[in-house]
Amino acid sequence: MFTGLVERVGTVVSVVEQDQTESGGNGWTITVGDAADILVDCHIGDSIAINGTCLTVTEFDQESFKVGVAPESLRRTNLGHLKVGSKVNLERAMDAQKRFGGHMVQGHVDATVDIVDIKPEGNSLWFTFKSKDKDIMRYIIPKGFITLDGTSLTVCDVDDDALTFSIMMIAHTQANVIMPLKQVGDQVNVEADMLAKYALKSLEGAIKDNHGLDALVNRALKK
């Protein structure tokens, strides 16, 4: 579990598609450097989110760490586009002893969205994104939580017909995450608010069990 408050921007130092070392397990691995600040309490098997994707540490030293990336993660996220020198958002798993400043983030990326517009307003930046997946738009509402490349943000506007939504990023956030380094057309990992997913799933189940919305409402009124 994470909060969406990025702790560090790291730098990719290695991408191996078939890592045959013991820590690579003959699979796709990514090694990230410039990460000393978040490795002081690291252990093999710990979870670290890279661009909002929960991954398992398989090897580390004082400055860098390696993670394995499953095929499903490569399909769902932008991790497959990373190369040596790419900047990435990093966050360790949530510490129960600290303030919970963002929102509940699982690190389970739903899909990627494309940046379609970037424009300044004062010292803030507007980012507008377009989804390829109509289904995910059901969970995105104005003033709701959303996680973009691992950053907890607030949705400002939503256009369900155009499959677009926008956020505004303050100057402090711009200085501490990778989003301002991106351009129109770049992909961003998105995780919708998990509470919205559970709420919609429960409502759909209740409607189905009660043979339609009208029947559900009538039953509730009778109670």
Active site residue 81: no
Please identify which of the residues 23, 108, 124, 166 carries the catalytic annotation.
108
Active site residue 56: yes
Please identify which of the residues 70, 171, 199, 206 carries the catalytic annotation.
70
Measure the CA–CA gap between 101 and 118, rounded to whole angstroms: 26
| Residues 197, 144 contacting (CB under 8 angstroms) | no
Active site residue 147: no
Please identify which of the residues 23, 47, 124, 166 carries the catalytic annotation.
47
Active site residue 47: yes
Active site residue 58: no
Please identify which of the residues 11, 56, 124, 166 carries the catalytic annotation.
56
Separation of first and last alpha carbons in the chain: 38
The torsion defined by the Cα of 120, 129, 114 and 154, in degrees rounded to 10, comes to: 90
Please identify which of the residues 21, 36, 100, 154 carries the catalytic annotation.
154
**Torsion 101-103-107-110 (CA) sign:** negative
Please identify which of the residues 35, 49, 54, 111 carries the catalytic annotation.
54
Structure tokens at 26: 């003959």
Active site residue 2: yes
Measure the CA–CA gap between 110 and 94, rounded to whole angstroms: 20
Please identify which of the residues 2, 60, 127, 129 carries the catalytic annotation.
2
Beta bridge pairs of residue 190: 111, 148
Residues known to be catalytic? 2, 47, 54, 56, 70, 108, 154
